[in-house]
Amino acid sequence: MGADSCGLALTGARALVTASTKGIGFGIAKVLASCGGRVVINGRNPGTVSESVEKLSSLGEVSGIACDLAREGCASRLVREAASRLGGLDALVYVPPPPPGGRFQEVSLEDWRLSYRLLVEAPIEAVTAAVEYLRESRNPSITFVTSIAAWEVFPEIATSTVLRPSLHALTVLLARELGPLGVRVNAVVPGYILTDRLTALAEKRARGKGTTSDQELREMASVIPLGRIGEKEEVGWIAAFLASPRASYVTGAIVAATGGLHRLTR
């Protein structure tokens, strides 16, 4: 797809998208690849990574690296290997693997530690490794995928509710610190997006209430102003815009992909 088919001037953009063999990360990788980006995806399992690369390969240049972000050193290795493979790095898109769910009283200390690792430590590790490559890019950017749980209390995902706000703080902190290097730093905030993670949440609610997961998904949709659950590619387009030179004056932005679900402020 050599031409700038999306109008985002992303042709040849070198991008790493973490946790992207399926779900929101996959949706972001798909849009980036279809817009001419050269994309490295990631997941824990080499077989799953290969399958997902295969699904995306007709869109553009996509390769994968298997690595478990729960392990210290994975995030920096991912960045280094992706940059070496691509000959540099223009866009780091950190999608956190889903942290363990559960209410406060159901969550173990181990789950808190894992959540901290995925939502705080690993993104810091990734950024620390990425800066040396990004500062050499002509359009460098970092985009974090966060969650509506960073804005509102979701008792069923206690660790996310407590730890996700730190990704917003990291976004605005890095926007200031890396702005002078030309590196733009933004966040995308999904509300309800149709992925395995959301289906699992709907199934859990259905078990607790004696309903079906379809009923639960419909109930979620009913409170969204746009009246439906989002598609992963709809998050992908926002992330692609933020990574593109079309967003050249956008940094420190925290962009809702919620269908209006989040409480609006003036």
Ligand X SMILES: NC(=O)c1ccc[n+]([C@@H]2O[C@H](COP(=O)([O-])OP(=O)(O)OC[C@H]3O[C@@H](n4cnc5c(N)ncnc54)[C@H](OP(=O)(O)O)[C@@H]3O)[C@@H](O)[C@H]2O)c1
Which positions touch ligand X (CB under 6 A)? 19-25, 42-45, 48, 68-70, 95-98, 145, 147-148, 160, 190, 192-193, 195-198
Q: Are 193 and 231 in contact (CB under 8 A)?
A: yes
**Closest separation in Å from C-beta 133 to ligand X:** 20
Cβ-based neighbour number of residue 85 at 10 Å: 15
Here the tokens at position 156 are 């069923």
As measured in angstroms, the least distance from the Cβ of 162 to ligand X is 13
Give the residue nearest to ligand X (CB). 23
Cβ burial, residue 112 (10 Å; 0-12/13-18/19+): middle
How far are the Cα atoms of 27, 63, 74 from residue 43, in angstroms, in the given order? 14, 12, 11
What's the per-residue H, E or C state across 193-229?
Answer: ECCHHHHHHHHHHHHHHCCCHHHHHHHHHHCCCCCCC
Closest distance of CB 251 from ligand X, Å: 22
Question: Smaller CB distance to ligand X: residue 22 or 30?
Answer: 22
Token pair for residue 194? 């149709």
In the complex, the smallest distance separating the C-beta of residue 254 from ligand X, rounded to whole angstroms, is 13
Q: How far is the CB of 23 from ligand X (least distance, A)?
A: 2
Q: Which is nearer to ligand X, 77 or 246 (CB)?
A: 77
Query: Of 23 and 36, which CB lies nearer to ligand X in the complex structure?
Result: 23
Closer by beta carbon to ligand X, 125 or else 139: 125
Q: Minimum Å distance from CB 210 to ligand X?
A: 23
The one-character DSSP state at 119 is: I
179 near 135, Cβ under 8 Å? no
Helix (H) or strand (E) holding 170: helix 165-178
Residue among 4, 58, 53, 60 at smallest CA distance from 25: 53
Nearest to ligand X of 20, 143 (CB atom): 20
Nearer to ligand X, 89 or 95 (CB): 95
